[in-house]
């Protein structure tokens, strides 16, 4: 977010900058969503919704989830949240006590660590590398000296873009069930897959908590709507938490968001995914040519995790230097990996293929010295 603020400041100053740092689609909400929003603004007072979320939206999410993954999901188990960020806070509060241990992959999404730290959780890193395609395994969990109370998996990954193999997700889910751990599956980037299938943790465990959002595939970041699908015994605890934490997600976003699950929206959104795949292809082709040939080749999502250790041992300072020197913004790896992040950066796939190619050209010239 610091890099994003820096890019915005530079643009206000008239300094052209290619933004490869943020995981935010540059596209807006589908047209059909905007049409529904316009209708709702004039026809409804848009007061608080139910604490669990607008019932019709919950039904749309449940139907979409059931059809996509061939699992039985009902609206009664779907809870609408203020972005997936609200879902993570509610999930952590519902399943953890102060001092409980949570296992998560490194590299990984930094907000997990920050939220868990604020809540007093004990964090155990599952250090991942290219041997497991930067995804955790059940064997890693088995080797832990103490059993965690919860396990977080993210697929497609942030910052890596890799997708966990369905068979491995099944093994992790079974391990969690056998060892009394709650599996929390971040499925925010589902819908954005280039080469591997995405699986839901609910296909392998009725005890899993799965989390999704309208922000990524659905291209509705600022609308602030996410969801969680929880087992029966967590519905009441999460409802009670939401009543105090947020009361409800934005009503206009929920009502308009129903239309995100239509065929009209899907046709538009799949064009966005094709654009991300074009940007990915540019990076896969160009980065080795300029001397950055070690990376996690993304299977989906919005990111590529790139090794820059031959050029810096301080990815944060290096990323800031790139912005100022050549007008290319990437995310420093220290945000995502406390162990090796000083040698890595995250590229975003959200820029156009043309802008991505230009960024690689500038970076190549810069690396030549």
In this predicted structure, what is the pLDDT of residue 232? 97
In this predicted structure, what is the pLDDT of residue 9? 85
Which CATH code fits 33-260? 3.40.640.10
Nearest alpha carbon to residue 57 among 39, 80, 73: 80
Would the pTM of this model clear 0.75, i.e. be above it? yes
Distance, CA of 30 to CA of 27 (rounded, Å): 9
Concatenated DSSP letters of 192-253: -BSSS----GGGT-TT-EEEEESSSTT--GGG--EEEE--HHHHHHHHHHHHHHTSSS-HHH
Beta-sheet pairing, 209-213 with 226-229: antiparallel
Domain boundaries, the chain: 2-29+265-368, 33-260
Distance, CA of 75 to CA of 288 (rounded, Å): 47
**Mean pLDDT per 10-residue interval, the chain, length 369 residues:** 81 88 90 97 93 98 96 97 97 97 97 96 96 97 97 97 97 98 98 93 97 97 97 97 95 98 97 96 97 94 97 96 94 95 97 96 94
In this predicted structure, what is the pLDDT of residue 15? 85
In this predicted structure, what is the pLDDT of residue 96? 97
Contact by Cβ (8 Å): 336, 110: yes
End-to-end CA distance of the chain: 28
Q: What CATH fold (topology level) applies to the domain 2-29+265-368?
A: 3.90.1150
């Amino acid at each position: 977010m610091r890099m994003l603020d820096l890019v915005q400041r530079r643009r206000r100053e008239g300094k052209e900058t290619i933004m490869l740092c943020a995981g935010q689609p540059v596209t807006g909400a589908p047209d059909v969503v905007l049409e529904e929003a316009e209708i709702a603004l004039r026809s409804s007072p848009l007061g608080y919704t139910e604490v669990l979320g607008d019932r019709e939206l919950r039904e749309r999410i449940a139907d979409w989830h059931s059809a996509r993954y061939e699992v039985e999901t009902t609206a009664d188990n779907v809870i609408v949240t203020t972005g997936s960020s609200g879902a993570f806070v509610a999930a952590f509060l519902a399943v953890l006590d102060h001092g409980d241990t949570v296992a998560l992959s490194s590299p990984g999404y930094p907000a997990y660590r920050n939220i868990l730290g604020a809540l007093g959780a004990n964090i155990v890193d599952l250090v991942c590398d290219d041997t497991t395609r930067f995804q955790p395994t059940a064997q890693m969990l088995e080797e832990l000296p103490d059993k965690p109370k919860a396990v977080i998996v993210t697929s497609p990954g942030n910052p890596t873009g890799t997708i966990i193999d369905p068979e491995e997700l099944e093994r992790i889910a079974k391990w969690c069930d056998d060892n009394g751990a709650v599996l929390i599956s971040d499925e925010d980037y589902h819908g954005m897959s280039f080469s591997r299938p995405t699986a839901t943790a609910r296909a392998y465990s009725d005890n899993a908590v799965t989390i999704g959002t309208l922000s990524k595939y659905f291209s509705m970041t600022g609308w602030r709507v996410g969801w969680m699908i929880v087992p029966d015994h967590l519905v009441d605890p999460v409802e009670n938490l939401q009543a105090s934490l947020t009361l409800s997600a934005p009503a206009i976003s929920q009502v308009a968001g129903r239309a995100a699950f239509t065929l009209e929206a899907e046709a538009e959104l799949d064009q966005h995914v094709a654009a991300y795949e074009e940007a990915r292809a540019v990076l896969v082709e160009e980065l080795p040519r300029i001397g950055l040939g070690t990376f996690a080749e993304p299977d989906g999502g919005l990111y590529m995790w790139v090794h820059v250790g031959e050029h810096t041992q301080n990815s944060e300072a290096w990323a800031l230097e790139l912005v100022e020197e050549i007008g290319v913004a990437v995310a420093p790896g220290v945000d995502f990996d406390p162990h090796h992040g000083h040698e890595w950066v995250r590229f975003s796939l959200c820029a156009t293929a043309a802008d991505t190619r230009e960024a690689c050209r500038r970076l190549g010239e810069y690396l030549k010295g």
